[in-house]
Amino acid sequence: MSLKYIDEYRDAGLARQLVKKIQAVSKKKLRLMEVCGTHTMSIFRHGIRSVLPGGITLLSGPGCPVCVTAQKDIDAFVELTKIKDVIVTTFGDLIKVPGSGSSLANEKASGADVRIVYSLFDAVNLARKNKDKEIVFCGVGFETTIPTIAAGILIAAGDKIDNFSVYTSNKLTPPALAALMETPDIEIDGFILPGHVSVITGTNAYRDTFEKYDMPSVITGFEPIDILKAILILIQQNEEGKPALENAYPRAVSDQGNVKAKEIMNRVFEVCDAPWRGLGEIPFSGMKLKKEFQGFDAALKFDVNVPDMPEPKGCACGQILMGLKTPKECALYKKRCTPMNPVGPCMVSTEGSCAAFYRYN
Ligand code: SF4
């Protein structure tokens, strides 16, 4: 199947053919995890769950950056707003995520200077224009976002902007997949791997994890044909007992990934252990600033000390991110927790599983 134009990836006839093939080859009960929040939304938006055989269960995974941010980091972002002359900048999704006692939105409503930016470069420019203020950016994101954060820091370093810093809570995808595989009681028969993260990492980034766990894994894009194709491949691999790491998104993903973006990322950051909501501390799954860029590290610049707090009582985000529960199995879903009054981040983020269920299910 060689497609060229975006319309073709949304073609109803083609989708019907793929669904027929899926129905024909699917015999076993399988639990397939879409690792990425954008896939979760796309699957709902296109009604893909409703056309799959009953034996196929789709699980959401730890691929929504806001959702996997540890409670402690959310609390640290909130604490930063309380420091005199600090302007906290963030992407929109993060602002409503409840911390242990407050959220960035609550602090903004109470008078703190919290601003939504569309890119890190907006935050750097804000620092350029407000020399009497300290501008802090809440650095939350995966391999897709980390290179732009690194590029912003390089610009700030080059232009000697010393009133700008980043509180880093960056995450790397492959170590999270390995951590999932090591978690008891997890039942996953295949990974639908994230398209945009893989544009940066390349297929090779998953090879070690794949070779260690022999887990059927397919990289794919976000159009309905992309997703149906990935599901078909995963079912075929399972039915034939031939797990493989496949790239079903070759129009965007190469084996090596975006070498330049990775170079920039590795110039500024180095790998570190990182805390994830639900999954806990995962070795080598985060990125911290290298020594020469530590002047831009908000965690070092400001003495933000927040205790480790438990995740919101009754919230099952952690288990949902690990594929252990669905939003409907959370007692608070649609009762105490709604998009207007979210209890956990999975109901806040546009990529969150609970928000997707609420909106489309
Ligand atoms: S419905 Fe709300 S409380 Fe329940 S898991 Fe989702 S975000 Fe957490």
CA of 278 to the centre of ligand 1 (A): 13
In this predicted structure, what is the pLDDT of residue 1? 61
Tell me how far apart the alpha carbons of residues 122 and 132 are, in angstroms, rounded to a whole number: 17
Q: Hey, which residues does 246 pair with through a beta bridge?
A: 218
Dist CA 223 CA 15 (whole Å): 10
Q: Which CATH superfamily is domain 1-18+36-361 in?
A: HypD, alpha/beta domain 2 (3.40.50.11740)
Q: Ligand 1 centre from 59 Cα, in Å?
A: 15
- Choosing from 66, 71, 103, 317 the residue with most ligand 1 atoms within 8 A of its CB, the one to mutate for a pocket test is 317
Q: Which atom of ligand 1 is nearest to the CA of 330?
A: 4
324 C-alpha vs ligand 1 centroid, how far in Å?
Answer: 13
Q: Which tokens sit at 125?
A: 């420019």
By CB atoms closer than 10 A (0-12, 13-18, 19+), residue 323 is buried
Domain ranges of the chain: 1-18+36-361
* Residues forming beta bridges with residue 349, ordered by sequence position: none
138: Cα within 13 Å, side-chain hemisphere: 32
**Cα-to-chain-centroid distance, residue 217:** 17
- What tokens appear for 331 in the block? 């007692």
pTM tops 0.75, yes or no: yes
Q: Other C-beta atoms within 10 Å of 334: how many?
A: 14
Which whole-number Å values give the CA distances from 114 to 82, 102, 123, 152, in the listed order?
10, 13, 11, 19
Decide if 114 contacts 164 (C-beta within 8 A). no
**DSSP assignment string, 45-98:** HTTHHHHS-TTEEEEE-S--HHHHB-HHHHHHHHHHTTSTTEEEEE-GGGTT--
33 pairs with which residues across the strands? 59, 191
Measure Cα distances from 29 to 146, 180, 238, 273 in Å: 37, 20, 10, 35
How does pLDDT run along the chain (361 residues), one tens digit per residue?
667 777 788 888 999 999 999 999 999 999 999 999 899 999 999 999 999 999 999 999 999 999 999 999 999 999 999 999 999 999 988 999 999 999 999 999 999 999 999 999 999 999 999 999 999 999 999 999 999 999 999 999 999 999 999 999 999 999 999 999 999 888 999 999 999 999 999 999 999 999 999 999 999 999 999 999 999 999 999 999 999 999 999 999 999 999 999 999 999 999 999 999 989 999 999 999 999 999 999 999 998 889 988 889 999 999 999 999 999 999 999 999 999 999 999 999 888 999 999 998 7
- Ligand 1 and 344: CB distance under 6 A: yes
Q: What is residue 102's predicted lDDT score, i.e. its pLDDT? A: 95
How many other C-beta atoms can be found within 10 angstroms of the C-beta atom of residue 275?
19
Query: If you write DSSP's letter for every residue of 185-196 in order, what string do you get?
Result: T---SEEEE-HH
Question: Distance between CA atoms of 250 and 54, rounded to whole angstroms?
Answer: 30
Burial class (CB in 10 A: 0-12, 13-18, 19+), 324: middle
Distance CA 100, CA 123 (A): 26
Contacts for 82 with CB less than 8 Å, ≥ 6 apart: 107, 112
Helix (H, G, I), strand (E, B) or coil at 114: strand
- Whole-number Cα distances in Å, 98 to 45, 66, 79, 190, 231: 26, 11, 13, 32, 34
**pLDDT of amino acid 9:** 81
Which segments of the chain does DSSP mark as H helices, in order? Answer: 12-25, 37-45, 48-51, 65-68, 71-80, 104-109, 120-129, 146-158, 173-181, 195-201, 207-213, 224-240, 259-268, 298-301, 317-321, 353-360
Which of 347, 359, 361 for a ligand 1 pocket mutation test, highest count of atoms within 8 Å of Cβ? 347
CA-angle at 189, arms to 186 and 194, nearest 5°: 95
**Single-letter amino acid, residue 190:** G
